[in-house]
A and B are shown apart, each in its own frame.
Chain A
Amino acid sequence: MIEIKHLQKTFGEKHVLKDVNLNIPKGKTTCILGGSGSGKSTLIKCLIGLLEVSGGQILVDGRDITKITSEVKLAALRRRFGYLFQEGALFDSMSVGQNVTFGLKYLTDVPEKDYPKIIKEKLALVGLREDVAKLNPSELSGGMKKRVSLARVLAVEPEVILYDEPTTGLDPIMSDIISDLIIDLKAKLGVTSIVITHDMHSAFKIADYIAFLYEGNILLYGTPEDFRKTDNPYVKQFVTGSSHGPIQMKLMKE
């Protein structure tokens, strides 16, 4: 469904993505692993057109989206994608209910009279009660914010959901609840999911495929089983979470 070919992204002199090649299959969950600052978020921001690429192609159903320059066409493309932000990025001037239905007004023709039903339905899908709709984002816990943000994404029924570190900053139980949610959504809605994470427990649980991003390139792509069995010292060190290994040595050299 999505093919990333020789993707490059530079910020000034800094080459964050050097030559990323990756296939994202339809209806599957692909986790992109990598350390902090490895360019994971940059990669998915390029996918949704929030960042302009410096080189390469991103093909969505065979169409190169990096060539789209029209703001109107770019908005149409974003209709197919949903993005779950790391901190939720809920609009703090609106209630939870207004946040959930925000995208409906701009991306769909759903009449406003249907909004209450959709709020109830989407909040239930992420395990929240209807009365949460009246609250303001500032009244929510970290986990609830992420779930409301996910309900906002689901309201517009995207084909692809991009999750930016969905379990970061949450306690282990809430992290597991979010992981279960991602699995449930794939099963119920058949959405294609791309999950940026460095939470190995979550990655192994939710992923159909995993890609390891290191120094601007995909170092390893495969199933969770491939990652468990790999001999690649970089990947092995990351998977085991050890402070000793080539990644640490590289940091010390810098």
Chain B
Amino acid sequence: MFASVGRYVLNVLNEVGGSADMLRSCVFWLWRSKFEWRQTVEQSVNIGVNSFGVTALTSLFTGMVLALQAGNTIGSIFGDPIFVGTLVTFSLVRELGPVLTSVVVSGRAGAAVTAQIGTMAVTEQIDALYTLGTNPIRYLVIPRMVAFVCTLPVLTLFSNLFGVIGGYLVSVYALNVPGEVYLTDITSFVDIEDFMHGFIKTFFFALMIGTVCCYKGISTRGGAEGVGKSTTGAVVTTIVLILVLDYFLTAILTAFGI
């Protein structure tokens, strides 16, 4: 039992070390080589644009369910569904927007990144890149990392917007809260710091998703089964790390008054 715990810890440390080394290589190649614009734009479309629909839908319904729960709960306590706009927007921009968008992007685009790079690793395409004078970090990893870091915050902005719209629809049409009241609740009580709190988190989430998914892909061994394991491992790891990171980022940002 001690042996298996030890092996597990060693394996985790090995992966953390490998990911850190990959990040170091990213920084090295980012400044020393021509930037892969075409690859980066392609990956931004794959990761960002193609995730827009699913993140928008998720946020719309999250906003709707938040409004419904908040309206019914507050209504049963105070008689009227007050501050629904505040509650929905506050929850979305600080927590649910960044976290849910990151989870959805990790499941959709992160898995695809690991599977693609993993398949390239097991079919020797990564080795072929080396032999053709191309560092895979420069050609494969950096464009994907940049794509994650550039698109996830933008997706989160839209997610927040769709969530607020979802909350608005439920408030106005199901809870009979006047639209102006819903919007005034938002503008009066939610300020720029709340928005920044969530927005800053997305950059860290994006960097983490990019690092884990690319590293899992590059370190894939063992054919089709290995690709499957890496992909599952990448999604599980990123989802867990999003939640863990969220707690620590919340604590740090709050300590800085954001």
Q: Which of A48, A49, A103, A152 has the largest number of chain B CB atoms within 10 A? A: A103
Interface residues on chain A, size class? 20 to 34
Cβ B131 vs Cβ A81 within 8 A? yes
B133 contacts partner chain A, Cβ-Cβ < 8 Å: yes
| Alpha-carbon gap, A140 to B115, bound state (A) | 23
| Alpha-carbon gap, A72 to B134, bound state (A) | 10
| Alpha-carbon gap, A82 to B128, bound state (A) | 10
Residues of A within 8 A of B127 (CB): 45, 50, 83, 85, 89
Cβ B132 vs Cβ A152 within 8 A? yes
- CB proximity of A188 to chain B, nearest CB, Å: 22
A234 contacts partner chain B, Cβ-Cβ < 8 Å: no
A110 contacts partner chain B, Cβ-Cβ < 8 Å: no
| Alpha-carbon gap, A45 to B128, bound state (A) | 11
A86 contacts partner chain B, Cβ-Cβ < 8 Å: yes
B187 contacts partner chain A, Cβ-Cβ < 8 Å: no
CB-CB under 8 A for A107 and B28, given A50-B127, A86-B124:
no
Cβ A83 vs Cβ B123 within 8 A? no
Partner of B128, one of A75, A79, A81, A89: A89
Q: Using a CB-CB cutoff of 8 Å, which residues 76-96 of chain A contact chain B?
A: 78-79, 81-83, 85-87, 89-93
Interface residues as binary, B132-155 with A (CB distance below 8 Å gives 1, 0 otherwise): 111100000000000000000000
| Alpha-carbon gap, A111 to B65, bound state (A) | 57
Cβ B131 vs Cβ A82 within 8 A? yes
Q: In chain A, what residue has the closest Cβ to B29?
A: A71
A119 contacts partner chain B, Cβ-Cβ < 8 Å: no
- CB proximity of B24 to chain A, nearest CB, Å: 11
B31 contacts partner chain A, Cβ-Cβ < 8 Å: no
Residues of B within 8 A of A72 (CB): 32
CB-CB under 8 A for A83 and B131, given A71-B28, A72-B32:
yes
Residues of A within 8 A of B124 (CB): 85-87, 89
Closest 10 CB pairs of A and B: A103-B132, A89-B128, A107-B133, A89-B124, A83-B131, A106-B133, A106-B134, A85-B124, A89-B125, A75-B133
- CB proximity of B224 to chain A, nearest CB, Å: 14
- CB proximity of A81 to chain B, nearest CB, Å: 7
Interface residues as binary, B75-110 with A (CB distance below 8 Å gives 1, 0 otherwise): 000000000000000000000000000000000000
Residues of A within 8 A of B28 (CB): 71
B248 contacts partner chain A, Cβ-Cβ < 8 Å: no
Residues of B within 8 A of A85 (CB): 124, 127-128
Cβ A87 vs Cβ B123 within 8 A? yes
Residues of A within 8 A of B256 (CB): none
| Alpha-carbon gap, A103 to B133, bound state (A) | 7
| Alpha-carbon gap, A120 to B53, bound state (A) | 43
A156 contacts partner chain B, Cβ-Cβ < 8 Å: yes
Q: In chain B, what residue has the closest Cβ to A74?
A: B130
| Alpha-carbon gap, A75 to B131, bound state (A) | 8
Residues of A within 8 A of B132 (CB): 78, 102-103, 106-107, 152, 156
Q: In chain B, what residue has the closest Cβ to A103?
A: B132
Q: In chain B, what residue has the closest Cβ to A104?
A: B132
- CB proximity of A144 to chain B, nearest CB, Å: 16
Q: In chain A, what residue has the closest Cβ to B116?
A: A93
Cβ A78 vs Cβ B130 within 8 A? yes
Residues of A within 8 A of B134 (CB): 102-103, 106
Residues of B within 8 A of A107 (CB): 132-133
| Alpha-carbon gap, A102 to B123, bound state (A) | 17
Interface residues as binary, A151-178 with B (CB distance below 8 Å gives 1, 0 otherwise): 0100010000000000000000000000
Residues of A within 8 A of B130 (CB): 48-50, 78
- CB proximity of B213 to chain A, nearest CB, Å: 17
